[in-house]
Amino acid sequence: MRYNGGKNGGGLYQWIINHIPPHTRYIDLFAGSAAILRYKRPARSSIAVDIDARSTGYLEDLNLPGTTTITTDAISWLASYRPQQGDFLYLDPPYPRMTRRSKGKLYIHELTDHDHTVLLKRLVTLNVPAAISSSPNDIYTHLLSTWHAHCYETFDRQHRPRTEILWTNYKDPLALHDYAYLGTNFRDRERIKRKYLRWKHRLQQLAPLERAMLQTLLTADSTPT
């Protein structure tokens, strides 16, 4: 299932997953094909919200572990949302019309500039880790001025260059929910994978007590203080 602005290709979903901190409940608003939800390591539970029943029906057919789908307007859902400890929000709303080369309708359910404003004003009031994707635009730059903007150069369906921005209300995380896509591109990910396999092999060659000692020390060193 493909949506305009979907995050399925071009290295985009890997890049976004590399910005997601640990969490126990993942909430995907404007889910669409829910590429991030499908490709990342599952959370203990997940919620996918989209007004388009085709989207939620598609996700229900996939039977993703621990995932609840809700067919409703994401802005209205967010208005009544009450954060829980361990939540992480990812939002991928329709791109604002001002950012598009074509001014025609791209989505069955469009958002006006006012809708984007209402969405962002609600989002910035929430005390919960959150990230939102869009193209460069004045509305997001203004209302998310205190957030961190991460840029990714990619291509649209006509293979024309475009910039994707991921705004986050947290600094670069010191730990990730999923390390499977760590690296800047495929070649870099393969380099990291080879390094991991080499260290894994070396660890397995140690005497059992030495291996246990290193694993204990590494775990202790990574425990937040």
Whether the per-residue pLDDT at 1 is higher than 60: the answer is: no
Mean per-residue pLDDT for 175-204?
A: 88
With contact defined as beta carbons under 8 Å apart, do 9 and 159 qualify? no
Quickly count: other Cβ atoms within 10 Å of residue 19's Cβ: 18
Whether the per-residue pLDDT at 66 is higher than 60: the answer is: yes
Which pLDDT score is estimated for 106?
A: 66
Mean per-residue pLDDT for 17-26?
A: 97
Which pLDDT score is estimated for 225?
A: 37
Mean pLDDT is lowest, of 3-7, 83-87, 189-193, for 3-7
pLDDT digits (tens, 9 = 90+) for 92-119: 999 887 776 666 666 677 889 999 999 9
Cα separation, 55 vs 70, in Å, equals 10
Confidence of residue 52 (pLDDT cuts 50, 70, 90): very high
How would you class 32 by CB atoms within 10 Å of its CB: exposed for 0-12, middle for 13-18, buried for 19 or more? buried
Whether the per-residue pLDDT at 224 is higher than 50: the answer is: no
Mean pLDDT of the chain: 89
Quickly count: other Cβ atoms within 10 Å of residue 196's Cβ: 12
Distances (CA, A) of 18 to 86, 180, 183: 18, 9, 8
Which pLDDT score is estimated for 6?
A: 66
Q: Give the DSSP H or E segment for 194.
A: helix 186-205
Mean pLDDT is lowest, of 1-5, 28-32, 135-139, 191-195, for 1-5
Cα separation, 42 vs 23, in Å, equals 10
Confidence of residue 90 (pLDDT cuts 50, 70, 90): very high
Which pLDDT score is estimated for 102?
A: 66
Whether the per-residue pLDDT at 161 is higher than 90: the answer is: no
Mean per-residue pLDDT for 199-224?
A: 79
Whether the per-residue pLDDT at 223 is higher than 90: the answer is: no
In the block, residue with structure tokens 């004045």 = 138
